[in-house]
Structure 1
Amino acid sequence: MISRPIAKALERHKTLRGLYEPRDKRFVAKAKNKESHCGYQKWHRDVDLEVMMWLREHEKATPEQFMSKLREIYGREDTLERFPNGFGPAT
């Protein structure tokens, strides 16, 4: 969930800098099948762009607010179709 583009945006963020890393093991979403999470598809680029824009617009966001945004994205119907269990720590 923390792709390299999102990680770069987080490193520039005033309050979230240093708290997350690319492919952070705390935030993993297991796809329902290979096709749902294969490659860097348009839906994934769209999510990255949305998160990066949100970070720019919320320069004083707390970790809780950032997590709420990720939960909102991964709770959407179209995202739940790909990732029916949402996200959580790597097991």
Structure 2
Amino acid sequence: MLYEATTEAVNLKEEAQEQEDARFAEAAEAEGEAAPEPPDCQGQNHHVISRPIAKALKRHKTLGGLYEPRDERFVAKAKDRDSHCGYQQWHRDVDKEVIRWLRDFPTATRKEFENFLRGIYSRPDMLKRFPHGF
């Protein structure tokens, strides 16, 4: 009985945190912090440190001040228009995942964070979009 109540409480807390992360990314997009879809794009440069991620990094205990929004050190060239044009759903999902990771690892080092990012961009679905990684 106690285990079930604890498990339910943990699940509710995780669900609430996921909703908060989604609201955070959506609010950043609504404030114009995410790049709008440009006209006639043919495969954009993708900034791994998006504005929503940079905002979360700014508040991070150990990583604050180390990265800039749309940091030029972390750019990947998209294969084509379908791979990246504007702030697509896959981009929102990646932002939420990174923001969640930053929250879950408040004392992460720069090396750990960058390895986490490289892990995301090494996934098969991401390599299809960005064949050269970042």
**Could you tell me the TM-score, scaled by structure 2's length?**
0.64
Inter-partner Cα distance in structure 2 for 1:63 and 1:29: 19
| 2:29 corresponding residue in structure 1 | none
Structure with more relative contact order (C-alpha pairs < 8 Å, separation 6 or more): 1
Q: 1:40 aligns with which of 68, 71, 87?
A: 87
Query: Partners in 2 of 1:15 and 1:9 — Cα distance?
Result: 12
Deviation at 1:35, TM superposition (A): 1.9
Identity, in percent, stands at 69
Pairs within 5 Å for 1:1-91? 1-87=48-134
TM-score normalised by L of structure 1: 0.94
The structure carrying a bigger strand percent of its residues is: 2
Q: Which amino acid aligns with 1:80?
A: L
Structure 1: which 5+ residue stretches go unaligned? none
State the structure with more CA Rg.
Answer: 2
CA shift, 1:49, in A, is 0.2
Shift of 1:27: 0.3
Superposed CA deviations along residues 58-83 of structure 1, whole A, max 9, x for unmatched, are: 00000000000000000000000000
Amino acid at match of 1:26: R
Superposition RMSD in Å? 0.5
- After superposing on structure 2, the runs of 4+ consecutive aligned residues of structure 1 that deviate more than 4 Å are none
| Structure 2: gaps (5+ residues) | 1-47
